Structures are given as structure tokens and as C-alpha cells.
Structure 1
Amino acid sequence: MPLPSHPLRKLGFLTIGLFDEADPRRGHESTLEIIELGERLGFDSAWVRHRHLQYGISSPVAVLAAASQRTSRIELGTAVIPVGWENPLRLAEDLATVDILSGGRLNPGVSVGPPMHYSQVEQALYPDTGDIEDFSYARVERLLDFVRGKPATDFSGVEGFEVFSDRVQPHAAGLGRRMWYGGGSLRSAQWAGEHGMNLLTSSVVKAEESEDFAEIQRSHIRTFRAHHPDGDRARVSQGLVVIPTDSASPEQREKYEEYALKRTPRTATPQGPARMMFAPDLVGTSEEIAERLYAHAAFREVDEVAFALPFTFGHEDYVQILTDIATRLGPALGWQPTA
């Protein structure tokens, strides 16, 4: 585990990919440039969020297809695709295609549940089947089966001049082992472990047995590994909002601190009927952040992270934050950049 004597093995980052409605190309181009920068800085992975009917990335698979052609080494992930918006068979085809194009670098993260604001989008999304759509874990099971090569039909062979397969094509060997579940509860952690997925644990968890964020997150990680075939070797990536200020300008530092301060009240107690707990944003020098991470009960359980970039900052802010993470915070955690 990442104590000073156990270095951080994998370092990644996560971006929402915001854009201006009047100029969406510029925002998407900024996201791709940030991913390219991440590769140059030696990051192990770059992850994109998923936003429908908002001004953020609505099609992460398409964005990562573009990123795969502008990078050669960095792993590319989604954190996360809400499968309630997707047809599992079609999504499996898209994921496999991008994995092939990337040379086996895709790390798809998914989650389950009804689409956000479902009553408002049901008629647009599922006008004929909305009342019978299954938004349970079974929807992810279907996706896993298709990605892992289980038959999607009982027909295969030649029909005229066309050749048909009984499983999703292309088949991306190894992709099934790189499927991640974004979980924030004990139930989801257990389910992901039982189904041999990897676990993405973020800055949001459900307060079930405690109101201490780090203790809750640690219990999720341990529950996941207790039910995973790989046990303590099962992969977990932690995603906290981390904002180092080493090379930030005074104006940037003020903006970062104000951003975190506005979000701090929600971290004090569970929020809403679901009792969701939010982790505090970590703002400060890399030395200060490393000290706080080493004291974090859940961070001590993992050896890979995907630090989340704040939602609303500018391109130049992300460049500064990523550069400080790669050149100062990462090494303070024992991580070494990939050449």
C-alpha cells in the first residue's frame, strides 16, 4: 500500500471536458490537448467523465477514439459511462473498436441505475420501452458478457456473400480484464468484486456504516477485494480532487482556495436521502497534499489513483495542475513518470 516505503504505482487524471455551447470544438480540442500533455508528462492514464444534455463530454468513446490517434502510450478511461443510457451490445461494439484502435489501452468504467432526471428524458430516450427497461446490475452483466466474447446470437456462418459472427466484433482480447465499475456503496463494491471487475472509487460515497469519508471508502475497497477472485491483488483506483499550487500564480491560488471553500460545507455531513458523503478537495503544495494523502485511510489501501481535475477551471489552470502533479506531487508519493 502507498506508504512512504510503498510507492504509488500508477498515476492518472480525470477531466469533465467542459465546452462553450457557442464553440464546442474548442472545448473538445482542449480536452484532447490535455490528454496529449498528460502523455508527455508521463501519466499512466487519462480519464474522461460522461455528461448527457450538459456542456461536457456526452460521447466519451468518440473522444477517446480521437485521443487514441493522438497518443501512443497513455491508457484511456471513462469514469464513468452510465449504462442506463446505453444499449449494452452497441456499447460493447464501440468499446472494442476503440480498444483495437488504441492498441489495447482502453479502460472503460461504467455504472448502473436509471438515467439522471429519467422522468424528463424517458420519452426521448425510451419512448416505447421506458417502463420495462432494466437499470439493474444485469445491464452491466450483459455488457461484460458481450465484451468478454460470450455469444450474442445463436446464428453464425455464411449467408450469401456475407459472413456473420455469433459474438461482438471486433473482439478485443484483454478488454474484459480492463472493465471498471464506479462504485460508491458496499453493495456495488461487493458486486464489482464478484464479477471480476476493477473498482473506481471517487470523491463521493454512501454513508452506510460511518460518517468518516476515508473510513467509508476503505471499507468499500476491502469489501471489493474480499469478494474478488484476485483478492488483495484486485485493482482499485482512487479519484479525489487534488489541486497542487506549487507553480500556481497568486491569482490561481486564490481561485483554487475559493473553489474548495465553497464546496467544503457538503463534506461535513451526509447529503440528501441517499446520505452521500463528499471528500474535501485537497489544495496546497505537493508536500502538504502528500502528507494528507498518507494520512488518508483509503489512500493507504491503493497503489493507483486518477486525480480529478476541478470542473470549472480554464485550460491554463489544468496545464499548471497536471504539471505540478506529474513533476512534484507524484514523485512525493514515490511515483515515477513513464518515459
Structure 2
Amino acid sequence: MPPLSEPLRKLGFLTIGLFDRENPRAGHESTLELIELGERLGFDSAWLRHRHLQYGISSPVAVLAAASQRTRRIELGTAVIPLGWENPLRLAEDLATVDLLSGGRLHPGVSVGEPMHYDQVRQALYPDTGDAEDFGYERVRRLLDFVAGEKASDQGGTEGFEVFSERVEPYAPGLIRRMWYGGASTRSVLWAAQNGMNLLTSSVVKAEGEPAADGSFDFAGIQAEQIRAFRAAHPEGARARVSQGLVVIPTDSATPEQRARYEAYAAQRMPRTAVPQGPGRLLFAPDLVGPSAQIAERLHAHAGFREVDEVAFALPFTFEAEDYVQILTDIATSLGPALGWRPSGLTAAQ
């Protein structure tokens, strides 16, 4: 077995929050129950993916507002909000509001880029300004400035009976230090570092550098290099926060039927890990399926994992609620401890 990595300090999970078209409330409620379970199991954080015009959570900030009232300790994050769909000023208002409601537990993760399938949604999303919208890093910079309390308006003071502020209100102290960027390329992680953000790195990176002799790329090696580049450029250096989000499926307490389904899921997705995908040359990490001891051994040998001390393991997209309960329970009770993690704030019932 390879030498152990540093003990895992923070353990989180990430879910897409699927729902049925004809009964969307049930899926949203199931996601809230999953976050509550995560807190009871001692997880440090729960993160929501973001989906537009699909059957996954389209408004994670609203869902996390609800979660903030049903939990007391667990950190609540977004991984990630695609800013091409958002107005930075309005989003800053929502983020600050939820952060205050949660008692300072919100961890917003964002990314840039043109909205997915932009030609199909442009007319609905930006009917008058579609060609003028900036989907680059400046959109993130505007959001960061608003979150930090920078000037948003020339109108301040009293007008009649109304009082106006020059900054976004409410203001949430400390939120600016909890802003994360979802980066998959060296260019993006360097921008995040230079702008003082935390880094979310996932099971997807951009295939950079030269391939091996057989034409393959080393996902773990690329991810490790990006993390090291991020910290080298960050004002906080080695203390800059990085969270890794691989797809991890422990099977310790799974039924034979669940194990077979999990293995089939991973096998179906395995071909995309062999070569870079699409014009963006995206490289996907294999899903890790098996007993916790086996997964822990693979993680200890993973160059990217060895660079971090916090994770937000991604739950598969298409499983059932009982599958997620089993997976989360095994992560908290078997895999996490095998990685040196200790649960936080367990209730007496646990």
C-alpha cells in the first residue's frame, strides 16, 4: 500500500437533487432529507449541483435556504453555479441573505462560460443583450466585489421616507472568504488563485500537456499539478483551500443488487475516461466503486487526492434515495475513518 496521505480534515458530499417532472416537490424534499442525514452522520459539508431546464435542482440557493432552517452545523455549498445564467448583483443579494439565515455556513461555488446550449436559450435568457453579455472572468469579479461590499450604486442616503445603500444589502461578513471557483484548467485555477478564491476541483480536468507514449493522459497527475499551481499563485500559499470532488461509491453495506447496479453504472461510464472528450478536451476520472478499504487505498495513491485535506465526494446522478442513504452512511462510517477523518458534531441518536 502506498504511504498514507495527510489525514482528511473535512468530508463533504455533492448531489444533483433529481426530481420527477410530474412531482417535483418529492425530489426537492428528498434532497433536503439527504442534507439532514449528512448532518446527523457528521459530514462537514453538503453541496448541490446546478441544472437549468433539466430535472435537477435549478435554484440551489433557494434549496439551501430551506436546508439552513433544517440544519444547525453542516456547511452548505453550491458546486457550481454557472454565472452565465445569473445577474451578479442579484445573486450577491441572494447569497448574502442565505448566508445570514444559515449563520455563516454558506459556501458558494461558481464558474464562468457561455450557458449550455446557448443558441437554444438565448432568446429566453437574454433576448435584448445576448450578443453583448460577457461570460468571462469579469462576471465573477463583479460578483466578488458585490459580495465584499464594494460600491454598487451612486444612490445612497435618504430619499423621502426611504433609505438607500451604496452596497448590496444585506451584507454578510465573512462570505467573501467562502467563495469558491470550479476550475478544470490551469488557466482557470490561476485566475481563481490570483483573485483570492478557494478552489473546487472535481472528476473533470482539461487534458493539458503531452500524453504518454500510448496516447493516454494521467488524470491524477494533471489534477495534482493544477492544485500545486493554484497554491503557488494564491496569496495564502500552501494554506489556500482546495476541495476535491471525485465520484466515490463504497459498497460495504450495499445489497448484492446494489453492488451489481453500482458496478454497471461505473462500467458504462468508464470509456469516457480513456481519452479526452469533446472540443474542450475534457478528461474524466474513473468512478471509485468497492469496499471502503479498497477505495481508501486507491485514494491514498491518487496524486490529486494527496494534495488536499478536504473533499466533497460526488453522488452518482441516477440512483434511488435508499442508495444515497447507503452510500452516505458507508462514507461516513467506513471510508471517512479509513482516510483519517473524524465526524463532526454527532447527535446522541448516532
Q: TM-score, normalised by structure 2?
A: 0.96
Q: Secondary structure at the match of 2:344?
A: coil
CA distance in 1 between counterparts of 2:130 and 2:255 reads 50
CA contact (8 A) 1:3 1:300 kept: no
**Structure 2 partner of 1:304:** 310
Mapping of 1:57-76 within 5 angstroms? Answer: 57-76=57-76
**Structure 2 partner of 1:267:** 273
- Please list every run of 5 or more consecutive structure 1 residues that lacks an aligned counterpart in the other structure: none
CA distance in 2 between counterparts of 1:5 and 1:330 reads 13
Q: Secondary structure at the match of 1:21?
A: coil
**Structure 2 partner of 1:230:** 236
CA contact (8 A) 1:181 1:199 kept: yes
Deviation readout 1:9-34 (Å, 9 max, x if unpaired):
00000000000001100000000000
Residue 6 of structure 1 and its aligned partner are, at CA, apart by: 2.5
Q: Secondary structure at the match of 1:327?
A: helix
Mapping of 1:181-220 within 5 angstroms? Answer: 181-210=181-210, 211-220=217-226
Q: Secondary structure at the match of 1:200?
A: strand
Deviation readout 1:83-122 (Å, 9 max, x if unpaired):
0000000000000000000000000000000100000000
CA contact (8 A) 1:80 1:110 kept: yes
CA contact (8 A) 1:289 1:329 kept: yes
CA distance in 1 between counterparts of 2:302 and 2:88 reads 36
Amino acid at match of 2:148: R
CA distance 1:91–1:35, change in 2 (3 Å): same
Amino acid at match of 1:202: S
CA distance in 1 between counterparts of 2:29 and 2:299 reads 32
Amino acid at match of 1:19: F
**Structure 2 partner of 1:319:** 325
CA distance in 2 between counterparts of 1:25 and 1:206 reads 36
Percent of matched pairs sharing the same residue: 79
**Structure 1 partner of 2:137:** 137
**Structure 1 partner of 2:213:** none
Residue 3 of structure 1 and its aligned partner are, at CA, apart by: 6.2
Residue 306 of structure 1 and its aligned partner are, at CA, apart by: 0.1
**Structure 2 partner of 1:242:** 248
How many residues of Structure 1 are paired with residues of Structure 2 in the alignment? 338
**Structure 2 partner of 1:51:** 51
Deviation readout 1:42-79 (Å, 9 max, x if unpaired):
00000000000000000000000000000000000000
Amino acid at match of 2:288: L
**Structure 1 partner of 2:163:** 163
Deviation readout 1:138-157 (Å, 9 max, x if unpaired):
00000000001101012210
CA distance 1:157–1:177, change in 2 (3 Å): same
Q: TM-score, normalised by structure 1?
A: 0.99
**Structure 1 partner of 2:263:** 257
CA contact (8 A) 2:5 2:306 kept: no
**Structure 1 partner of 2:33:** 33
Amino acid at match of 2:274: A
CA contact (8 A) 2:14 2:313 kept: yes
Q: Secondary structure at the match of 1:181?
A: strand
Deviation readout 1:235-287 (Å, 9 max, x if unpaired):
00000000000000000000000000000000011111211100000000000
Q: Secondary structure at the match of 2:335?
A: helix
- Please list every run of 5 or more consecutive structure 2 residues that lacks an aligned counterpart in the other structure: 211-216, 346-350
CA contact (8 A) 2:6 2:306 kept: no
CA contact (8 A) 1:84 1:114 kept: yes
**Structure 1 partner of 2:122:** 122
Residue 4 of structure 1 and its aligned partner are, at CA, apart by: 3.1
Q: Secondary structure at the match of 1:176?
A: helix
CA distance in 1 between counterparts of 2:4 and 2:209 reads 29
CA distance in 2 between counterparts of 1:200 and 1:334 reads 21
**Structure 2 partner of 1:290:** 296
Give the CA RMSD over aligned residues. Answer: 1.0
CA distance in 2 between counterparts of 1:326 and 1:222 reads 28
